[in-house]
A and B are shown apart, each in its own frame.
Chain A
């Protein structure tokens, strides 16, 4: 299945801004976060097809996943 991944802010550094890749059926959001070597505690927000999502959610063909890091400075 084809999944589009969009990374925001620091997650782009050394990775990419947006990419579409093939993944086997049953792939979960957490699998992709792990594959990208993003520590899960750095993930502030996960959007799946513009809706908020959880790491354990399974992905489906054509899904668009967006990952935002935590920002907290002032």
Chain B
């Protein structure tokens, strides 16, 4: 579309394209905002909404993010913030997977929940929110549970999988699916003032190692619940991990688990490379 390219070049101020012109271009060329965004980025023109991403993220990096696809498993406490941040970052396609609807006890922390969305599907709420905050991003809502059976269909083609689940058992299954599909998985979990993050690359068995002592049921979250600040923090670290994986920059939490204690403000990174392997979910003597 040479005409679109000309339009964008003409209306860019320096290397920035304002939202107004992005919308005008989509109308004039009867195309999607996403198509306009990709065309602009490919020419080195940055949609102005991303100008404060620089210098952390170059125009080239922004194009990489735009062309990437991230699946978020769970749209609750962690997932809501993860989706919000991925969309503002400019990740082009987000798959939001959650079978549940919002309930009143979600309102203390789940950013996608409001009194008006009670009873509505979490995945749908994610689509509505992303359409509001960054319409150039495609959010694919999937109102269903991830299972080992549908894992390949749901996750195929994603560059990164973000774990925002609330079940250890499902997490362990997800980690195996990610390994089978060869996709990096950013693990996050929370409970009360505490949380943890680790990034598992294909070939690692970090998540299995993390939960190798797990037998059944939930962790500290069972007793402590989840206040508002822990999911926001842990989700942010997960998004930073996803961003680094997509861009191939920095040092992800590879072979490391970051353990977060907000009550006493203790952050500890624990080596996971030399952690023993083992099959979780087995009773021990």
Contacts and interface: CB of A to CB of B under 8 A. Distances in A.
Interface of A: 8-10, 12, 17, 40-47, 50-52, 54, 68-74
B164 A71 contact: no
B214 A70 contact: yes
Given A10-B194, A50-B271, A52-B274, A73 B213 contact: no
A42 B167 CA distance: 15
7 contacts: A40-B284, A45-B275, A69-B219, A73-B166, A73-B226, A74-B77, A74-B166
B165 A74 contact: yes
Contact of B194 (A42, A45, A51, A71): A71
A68 B195 CA distance: 11
Given A9-B261, A52-B274, A44 B77 contact: no
A46 B209 CA distance: 12
B259 A73 contact: no
Interface secondary structure of B, over-half rule: mixed
B122 to A, nearest CB: 12
Contacts of B95: none
Nearest to B230: A73
Nearest to A56: B285
